Structure 1
Amino acid sequence: MAVMGYLRDRMGKIVAGVIGLSLVAFVATEAVQSGGSFLRDDNNELGNVGGEKIAYDQFNAAVEQNVSQFKQQSGQSRVTPQITTYVQENTWNQFVTKAIVKKEVEKLGLTVGGDEIQSMTSGSNPAPQIVQAFTDPQTGKFDPASVSNAINALKGLRDDDPQKKQWTTFIADLINGKKAEKYMVLVTNGLYVNSLEAKDAYESKNRLANFKYAVLPYASIPDSKITLTDADYSAYYDEHKGEFKNAQESRSISYVAFNAAPSATDTAAIKAQMTKLLPGFIASTNDSLFVQINSENKAPLAYQRKGELEPKLDSMMFNEAPGFIYGPYLAGSSYKIAKLVEARMSPDSVKARHILVTPTESGGTIEKALARADSLKALIESGKGSFESLAPIFSVDKASGSKGGDLGTFGRGAMVPAFETAVFNGKKGDLKVVTSQFGVHLVQIQDQIGSSKVVKVAVVDKALSASSTTQSSAYGKAQAFLANVNKDNFAAEAKKSGLPLQAGEDINGTASSLPGLNDARELVRWVFKAEKNAVSDQVFTVGDQYVVAQVKSIKPKGILPLDVIKEQIKPSVLQFVKSKQLTDKLTAALNGAKSIEQVAQKAGVPVTPVQNIVFSNPVLPGSSAEYKAVGTVFGLAPNKLSKPIAGMQGVYVLSPDSFVNPAPLTNTVREKEQIAQTLIQRADAQLFEALKDKANVKDNRAKML
C-alpha cells in the first residue's frame, strides 16, 4: 500500500520540506521584493531573473502543487487568503533563488555526484529534510531502512505518478541545495579577519570612557515654533536619500465599506430553519444520510475521543446517552444541531498488517481484486501460506510488503475511514477484507492497545449568510456612493454620507488581504492597474462588505521621490531643522570656551557626567543609544571639546575626562573566530541581496496574479 504506508505518511512530511525548502540558509527568511512592469509582448512572463523567464503557467502549477501539499500536511480542506499569499511568496522565492544560484553555480562549474546524492538520501550523511521525513514520530529516531523502503516502493510506480513526481522534485531541490551550499562555502571561506580587526573589536567592548556632556534637547523647541519650507525638506531629503530606497512598488488607498453581513433578521431565519430540522433528526434512523442531505459541511461520521470534539459538544456528549440532541447552537459563523449516535469503548491504538490488492494489478476490476484478496485470506486461514511470505509477493504496497505487510502501531485518524473502522472495531487476530479508495486490503489485526470511550456524533450545520434583501440594500448604497464620487470629491462625499474613510497603507502588489478586508485580491489587482487618485470603476465584493476605493499614493520601486514621502518624513525634517538651530546655539557657546562647564553655562544647560561607557554599547544612562555622540568621544583626547553633535535626543557637546584601557588581548584567535562567525551569519543575506540586485529581478505578479 504505497500510498497508505510509507508514501502516504512520508510524502506528507517530504512535501512540507519541499514547501519550506530553501536552497541555502539565506533564502529561508529572505523575502524577494521586486517590482516591475507588465510585459505586453509576453503575457506568460510572470517575472525575469537576469534574462531567465519565470513562466506564469509553470509558477501557477507550482503554487497549486504547494497549496495541495499544504492541505495534505495540515489536514485543512481549504486555505485562507493569507496562507495562499504565503505559499505564492514562498514559491516565487524558490523560482528566483533557483535562477540566481543556478547562474552562479554554473559559472563555477559546481556539481553534485552520484555518491553525494546517495549519501544525502540513504547513505551515512542524510540531508536534514530526509531525517525529518523519515523520523519515527513515536520514538523520535531516524529510521534509515524506511528511506530505502520508500525508494524501492517508488520504483514500482509509473513515472507520471504524483508521488513519484513529488519525490523527483524533492531530490532535485536537495541537489540544488547541495550546490548552493558548496557555493556558500566558497564565499565564506574567502572571509578573513586579521589581528588588527580583532584588537579593535576587543577594545570596542572593553575600553571604558569617562566623560561629561551638555545637551540641548530637541523638545526644548516646540514644534509650533518651526515653519518648514520646501528648502528644509529638500536639504533633509538630499542628505538621507539612501534611506528612501523602496524594494518593491507599493500603493496606498482610501476606501469606504458598506456592510452586508447577516442581519439580526437573517440570523433568526437561519436558526428557525435549523429548528425545523429537529423532529426529523430526532426520528432519523440513518443519521449519516440525514447529515449528507441537510448539512452544508457533509463530514463523514467517525468515532472521536475526548478532546477531539468542539468544546461545546466535548463537555456533554461523553456524559449523555445515544440519541441525545443538542441545539440549535451558534458556533463561529454557523448554526448547528448535534446528535449523539453511538458511544463505546475502543482501543487507543492498533498494530496491524495488510496486503494491498488493486484492480490494476488484478485484471482491471474491483471484483477481481476482491477475489484475489479472498483467495489470499483462504490460504492464510488454511495454513497453506503465511502473511509474512505472501505480503512481499502480492502487496502493491512494497514499503510495508517488504516487512511482511507491517504497518506498525497507529492511532485514530492515521488511516482512511474504511480501514480505520475495520481495525478499531474488530478484535485481535481478526483477518478482514476491506475496500477503500486505494484498493482492496487484506488486513490482520495484530494487537489493540489501551481502551477509552469514543463517541460518534452527527452534526448538521448551516452557515450564517446574508439574505438577498440585506445584500441588495448594502450593494445599492455602495452603487449610489460610486455614482456620486470622482477623484476630486471622494473624501468629501464620504464625510457627507457619514461614512468613515478607511486607509490601506503601503500595499504590496501580491497582497491578498488588507487590514479589515480579507480575500481582497481582486481589489488589490485593480489598485495596481490604476493611476494615482483614480476611483474604482466598480463596487468590489470583499467578504461580506462592498468596497469603493481611491488610489491615494504610489511609491515606485527604487529611490522614492520627495513628493511621495514628504508627509512621512515631516517629523524627521522638524528634528533636522531644530538640530540646525540648536547647533548654531552651541557653536556660539563654544566660542572662547575652555571647558564643558563654560559651554553649558553659556547654553543655559547642566553638565552631565557619565562613567564606564563602552563603544560597542553607546547608551547614555537615563537616555537612549547615542551612536554619534559616544562615537565622537572615543575619537577625542582627554579634556578636548567636541563640535556640536546632532544625536537622537538633542544636540551634544562632549568632553572626555579619561579612558581606561583593558588588559592586552591575549587570545587573538578566539576574538577572530567570534568576528568571523558574525561575518558568516551576515554574509548569507548580504550575498543574496547583492546577487539579486545584480540579477535585475523583474516581478510582474502584481498585475498577473
Structure 2
Amino acid sequence: MGIMGFLRNRAGIIIVVAIGVAIVAFLLSDAIRSGQGFIADSQSEVGKVAGESISYKEFNERVEQNSQQFKQQMGSLNAQMTAYVVENTWNQTVSGIILKKQTEDLGIAVGESELFDLLFDNPSPQVQQIFSNPQTGVFDRATAINSRKSADADPQLKAQWIALEESVQQQRESEKYINLVKNGIYVNSLDAKDDYTNKNKLVNFEYVYKDYASVPDAEVKVTDADYKEYYEQNKYKFKNPTETRTFEYVAFNAAPSKQDTLDAKAKIEKIAEGFRASTNDSLFVAINADTKAPFTYEKKGQLEPALDSVMFNASKGFVYGPYFSNGSFKVAKLLDARVSPDSVKARHILLNPAQEGGMDKALAKADSLKKLIQGGADFGKLAAQYGTDGSKDKGGDLGTFSRGAMPAFEDAVFNGSVGQTMVVQTQFGVHVINIEKQIGSSKVVKVAVVDKGLLPSSATEQAAYQKAQSFLSDVSDFKSFEETAQKQGLNKLVGADVTPLQSSLPGLDDARSLVRWVYKAEKGDVSNEIFDIGDKYVVAVVTAIKPEGTLSLEDVKTQIEPDVKRAVQAKVLKASFDKALNGANSLAQVAQKTGTTVTPVENVVFANPVIPGVAQENKVIGTIFGSQPNKLSKAIDGERGVYVFTVKSFTNPAPMTNALRIKEQVQQAMSQQVDAAVFEVLRKKAKVKDYRAKFY
C-alpha cells in the first residue's frame, strides 16, 4: 500500500478540511460583476485581518488543498459540507493571522528541535491520530519518520506534511499564548470571599407575584413610544455582526410524480427478473446499477436493515426485492455466504512496478520471493531488502486488521489459510503476502445490489418549470408577488436574516445561487430568473436588508414585539401593586388587595437565583440580597412577572477556612473561559473584513 496509501487513507485528519473549489471559477466572474454592498471591495481579496490582506489566490490554494483531503475521506460532497469546511478554513486563516501578530509581538516561537519533538518524540494529538496503529492505538514513530523522508520526492505528500507542520506549530504557539494569558489571571482574597458568600449565604423571604399573562389583552396597548423606550434601553442587543437579508420565495415542486413512481417500479421489476436469470452478476450490475460498487463480504449488521434481516438466512442465488431505500428502488442478490475470520494478522512485501521495469517483471520478482519464502527464507529480511513502503522497517508487518481495513487484498487474506504465502496485484503495486494468523470466525455474505434512483420525468420537470415561468411573468415587484401568490394559492416561504455565505434554507439544501442573487438585488426586487434547486423551481423577492452594525428600530420592531408587550404588561402590574402598597404595612395586606397569595421561600443563595416553581429571576433575587429584613419592597418586574417581597432573615455562612482552595477553584473557572474569550476580543480588535461571498 505504501506510505502514500497509508497517509492518504487518513489525510483528512491532517488539516482542517475545506471544500468549494469546483465552483469557484463559475462564481468568480459572476461575483466580480456585482460590486454592490459588502462585495464592493478589492476584487483580488477574500478578506482583511488587522489590515493584512488575504489574497484570493493564497486562500484558494489552501481551499484546493483542503478540498482534496476532504474528498479522499468523504467522497461526494453536499452543500452543507461545502459551507462547513469553507467556514473552517476561513476561521483557521483568520485565527492564524491574529495569533501570528500576537506571538511575534511577544517573541513566542516554536524552534526546530521543539517541532521535531512534537512530530516524532512527544507527538501532538494530530500526529498521533495519523500515525497510530488502528488496532493498538500505539503511535508508529518509524512510519511517521519514513513518511516525512519520502515527502521530499513526492510533491503531494510534501504539501501534506507542510500543512501538518504548520498546523502543529500554530497549535503549539496558541497553547503558549493562552497559557501566558492564563498565568496572568489573579484571584485575591476578596474575590474568594465574594464567591464563598454568594454560594453559601442564605436568605428566607416571602413574596406575592402576578404573571404577565394575567394582564388581559384589552389592557395591553402598545404604542410607538413603548417601542422606542424599549429600543433605547436595549440598543446594545441589536448589533448585527454582518449584513443580513430577508426574502420571500415560492417553490414549485418537481419531485417525481405518481406516474414516475409507477414507471420506476415497472422498470426495477423487469430488472429483477433479469437479475434472477443472470449468470454473470458482475456484468449485470455494471450495466444496470446507478451506483457501481465492488462486491465485498460483510458481517451481520453491516448491510442495510432490509437486507441484513434476510440475507444471512438465505441460499446462494436468492434475490430480494424490489424494495425502496434512500431514494432508490433496489434489488439484491446473494452471491456467496461463508464462515470467515473476524480479523487477520499478515505481513507483506510491496514491489513498485515502475521501479522494477514494468508489471511483468514485478510479478516475476514477486514469484521468486514467494518461492524463497516457501523454501524457508527470512520474510523480515526480504521485506527490509525489497519492500518499498513503511512496513519494510518492521519486517513487512501490517498488524492485525478486520474486514474493510485492507480492501485491496481483503479477499486474499481472509479466504486464504494461516501460513499461506501468495502474490496479489493491486492499484498500489505487487504484494507478496504471508498470512500469520486468523482470529475468530463469523458468517459473512457477499451481496450484489442493483439500484435505480427515483427521478422525475422530463414531463414532470417541464410542468413544474412552466408553472414557475407563468408565475414569474405575472410579477414585477413585491406587491404583485404577494397578490399573485395569494391568487394562485401558493405557500410563501421566508428566508429570514440570511447571511452572505449561507448555503441552505428550510426545504432547500443547496441555495447558494439564490443567496448570491439576493445579495446583488435591492429591497423589493423580484428574481429575474427561476432557480433550479434540488427538486424545486424557485422564484423570490427581497423584503428586507439589515446592514452590519446597530440595527434601527424599524429593523427589529417585529423581533422585539413580545418584549415590548411584556414591558407594557409590567407597567400595568406595577401600577396595580403600587396602588396596593399605598398604606399597606404587610405583605398579607398587599396580597389581599391584589388577590394574590403570600408564598414563603427558604434557603436561596445568590449564586443560584431561582424562585422555586416560578423561574430563574436574577433581577429579583439580586434585589432581595440588597434589601433590609422586614421591609416591604417596591414592585419589581422580573422575567416571569411582577413581584413584591419581604426579607425574613439572612443566614451568614461559617467563616471561610480554606481560602487557598476557593481561590484555586475561582481561578480554574476563569481559566476555562480564557480560550474563547481571548480570541473573541482579538478578533473584534482585528476588524475582520470578509469578502468570501465574491468567490464562493
TM-score, normalised on structure 2?
0.92
**CA distance in 2 between partners of 1:340 and 1:105 (Å):** 61
- The alpha-carbon distance between structure 1 residues 321 and 114, as it changes in their structure 2 partners (threshold 3 A), is same
Structure 2 residue matching 1:344: 3-state secondary structure:
strand
Q: Which residue of 2 aligns with 1:29?
A: none
User: How far 1:465 sits from its partner (Å)?
Assistant: 0.6
* Contact 1:636–1:656, Cα closer than 8 Å, also in 2: yes
Q: 2:363 aligns with which of 370, 391, 398?
A: 370
Unaligned runs of 5+ in 1: 22-35
Give per-residue Cα distances to partners, 1:72-126, cap 9 Å, x unaligned. Answer: 44xx431332222221221211111111111111111101123322332222x33
Q: Which residue of 2 aligns with 1:25?
A: none
Q: Which residue of 1 aligns with 2:283?
A: 289
**CA distance in 1 between partners of 2:6 and 2:554 (Å):** 56
**CA distance in 2 between partners of 1:608 and 1:41 (Å):** 62
**CA distance in 2 between partners of 1:153 and 1:177 (Å):** 21
Give runs of aligned pairs for residues 210-229 of structure 1, distance below 5 A.
Answer: 210-229=204-223
Give per-residue Cα distances to partners, 1:428-470, cap 9 Å, x unaligned. Answer: 2332222211111122222223333322222111111110100
User: How far 1:206 sits from its partner (Å)?
Assistant: 0.9
Letter in 1 for 2:309: S
- The alpha-carbon distance between structure 1 residues 268 and 599, as it changes in their structure 2 partners (threshold 3 A), is closer
The answer as to 2:124 corresponding to 1:130 is no
Q: Which residue of 2 aligns with 1:510?
A: 501
Structure 2 residue matching 1:653: 3-state secondary structure:
strand
Q: Which residue of 1 aligns with 2:25?
A: none
Identity, in percent, stands at 53
The answer as to 2:115 corresponding to 1:117 is yes
User: How far 1:590 sits from its partner (Å)?
Assistant: 4.2
- The alpha-carbon distance between structure 1 residues 371 and 158, as it changes in their structure 2 partners (threshold 3 A), is farther
**CA distance in 1 between partners of 2:156 and 2:618 (Å):** 57
User: How far 1:599 sits from its partner (Å)?
Assistant: 4.7
Q: Which residue of 2 aligns with 1:53?
A: 53
The answer as to 2:396 corresponding to 1:380 is no
Give per-residue Cα distances to partners, 1:340-366, cap 9 Å, x unaligned. Answer: 222333322222111111133223x32
Q: 1:427 aligns with which of 399, 414, 417?
A: 417
- The alpha-carbon distance between structure 1 residues 489 and 276, as it changes in their structure 2 partners (threshold 3 A), is same
The answer as to 2:349 corresponding to 1:352 is no
* Contact 1:374–1:433, Cα closer than 8 Å, also in 2: yes
Q: Which residue of 2 aligns with 1:622?
A: 613
**CA distance in 2 between partners of 1:700 and 1:304 (Å):** 48
Q: Which residue of 1 aligns with 2:452?
A: 462
The answer as to 2:382 corresponding to 1:393 is no
Structure 1 residue matching 2:282: 3-state secondary structure:
helix
Letter in 2 for 1:370: L
Give runs of aligned pairs for residues 27-42 of structure 1, distance below 5 A.
Answer: 38-40=38-40, 42=42
Unaligned runs of 5+ in 2: 19-35
Structure 1 residue matching 2:316: 3-state secondary structure:
coil
- The alpha-carbon distance between structure 1 residues 461 and 61, as it changes in their structure 2 partners (threshold 3 A), is farther
Q: 1:565 aligns with which of 556, 566, 572?
A: 556
**CA distance in 2 between partners of 1:310 and 1:298 (Å):** 17
Q: Which residue of 2 aligns with 1:704?
A: 695
* Contact 1:509–1:703, Cα closer than 8 Å, also in 2: no
Q: Which residue of 2 aligns with 1:583?
A: 574
Moved more, 59-68 or 78-87: 59-68
User: How far 1:609 sits from its partner (Å)?
Assistant: 3.0
**CA distance in 1 between partners of 2:591 and 2:414 (Å):** 85
Structure 2 residue matching 1:151: 3-state secondary structure:
helix
* Contact 2:254–2:535, Cα closer than 8 Å, also in 1: yes
Letter in 1 for 2:397: D
Q: Which residue of 2 aligns with 1:249?
A: 243
* Contact 1:512–1:521, Cα closer than 8 Å, also in 2: yes
Letter in 1 for 2:424: V
**CA distance in 1 between partners of 2:241 and 2:680 (Å):** 11
**CA distance in 1 between partners of 2:64 and 2:310 (Å):** 40
The answer as to 2:439 corresponding to 1:442 is no
**CA distance in 2 between partners of 1:320 and 1:591 (Å):** 86
- The alpha-carbon distance between structure 1 residues 102 and 603, as it changes in their structure 2 partners (threshold 3 A), is same
Structure 1 residue matching 2:478: 3-state secondary structure:
coil
**CA distance in 2 between partners of 1:600 and 1:543 (Å):** 61
- The alpha-carbon distance between structure 1 residues 20 and 545, as it changes in their structure 2 partners (threshold 3 A), is closer
The answer as to 2:677 corresponding to 1:680 is no
- The alpha-carbon distance between structure 1 residues 253 and 152, as it changes in their structure 2 partners (threshold 3 A), is same
Q: 1:78 aligns with which of 76, 79, 86?
A: 76
- The alpha-carbon distance between structure 1 residues 240 and 449, as it changes in their structure 2 partners (threshold 3 A), is same
* Contact 1:327–1:337, Cα closer than 8 Å, also in 2: yes
- The alpha-carbon distance between structure 1 residues 8 and 656, as it changes in their structure 2 partners (threshold 3 A), is same
Q: Which residue of 1 aligns with 2:628?
A: 637
Q: 2:517 aligns with which of 526, 534, 539?
A: 526
Q: Which residue of 1 aligns with 2:180?
A: 186
**CA distance in 1 between partners of 2:71 and 2:426 (Å):** 21
The answer as to 2:132 corresponding to 1:142 is no
**CA distance in 2 between partners of 1:551 and 1:170 (Å):** 44
**CA distance in 2 between partners of 1:266 and 1:648 (Å):** 55
User: How far 1:334 sits from its partner (Å)?
Assistant: 1.0
User: How far 1:600 sits from its partner (Å)?
Assistant: 4.6
User: How far 1:317 sits from its partner (Å)?
Assistant: 2.2
**CA distance in 1 between partners of 2:84 and 2:507 (Å):** 18
**CA distance in 1 between partners of 2:689 and 2:546 (Å):** 16
* Contact 2:11–2:69, Cα closer than 8 Å, also in 1: no
Letter in 2 for 1:182: K
**CA distance in 1 between partners of 2:37 and 2:392 (Å):** 55
User: How far 1:592 sits from its partner (Å)?
Assistant: 5.1
Structure 2 residue matching 1:53: 3-state secondary structure:
strand
Structure 2 residue matching 1:691: 3-state secondary structure:
helix
Structure 2 residue matching 1:569: 3-state secondary structure:
helix
Moved more, 373-382 or 632-641: 373-382
Q: Which residue of 2 aligns with 1:175?
A: 169
Letter in 2 for 1:129: Q
How many residue pairs were aligned? 678
Give per-residue Cα distances to partners, 1:449-492, cap 9 Å, x unaligned. Answer: 33333222221111111101000001100110111122222222
- The alpha-carbon distance between structure 1 residues 158 and 368, as it changes in their structure 2 partners (threshold 3 A), is farther
The answer as to 2:472 corresponding to 1:478 is no
Structure 2 residue matching 1:631: 3-state secondary structure:
helix
- The alpha-carbon distance between structure 1 residues 200 and 41, as it changes in their structure 2 partners (threshold 3 A), is closer
Q: Which residue of 1 aligns with 2:306?
A: 312
The answer as to 2:62 corresponding to 1:62 is yes
The answer as to 2:2 corresponding to 1:2 is yes
Q: Which residue of 1 aligns with 2:602?
A: 611
**CA distance in 1 between partners of 2:640 and 2:276 (Å):** 73
User: How far 1:563 sits from its partner (Å)?
Assistant: 0.6
